[in-house]
Copies of this chain bind each other. A is one copy, B any other.
Amino acid sequence: METVMRIGELGAAAGVDIETIRYYEKTGLLPDPARSTNGYRAYGPAHLERLAFIRHCRALDIPLADVKRLLEFVACPENDCGDIDRLIDAQLARVRARLKSMQALERQLASLRGRCGVAHVAGDCGILHELVAAARGEACACHIEGLPGSKKAEMSTRPSVRRSGA
């Protein structure tokens, strides 16, 4: 059976960019594969399984450092798994906190968007007025209920953005 794959095939099989695969290798998440005579990486099914595991964890937003720890548990099933519990708990807590602030965010933006329906001049734009007023600390529709970011809410002095995942 020809279970040996080159990097492009592995990537296609797992739905992962080849640059990402090389990145995982470089950072020690994927073991160095064998090489064909021409120097091409030669992967087997074990690599595919491991890569799929990593991507599943990443889909769960588990940081690579934690994925690494989980992989160690997979490799050493005799270890105590209390750490796994704690790891997942911590991840769940992170996600829930983030979720809460995202929901607040959504309410704020939805409220903001309602301010400006028709095309006109920026000087009259309700959105812009609202943003400026909010920055001044005046009462604004989107800060009705002590939302994160109002000035120093419990969540973060440090908001964070990702570029749109599309």
Contact = CB atoms under 8 A, between A and B. Distances in A.
Interface of A: 15-17, 49, 52-53, 55-64, 70, 73-74, 76-82, 84-85, 88-92, 94-99, 102-103, 105-106, 108-110, 112-113, 116-117, 119-125, 127-128, 131-132, 134-137, 142, 147-152, 155-165
A60 B135 contact: no
Nearest to A108: B60
A151 B63 contact: no
Contacts of A55: 135, 149, 159
Copies in the complex: 2
A159 to B, nearest CB: 4
Contact of A164 (B73, B85, B94): B94
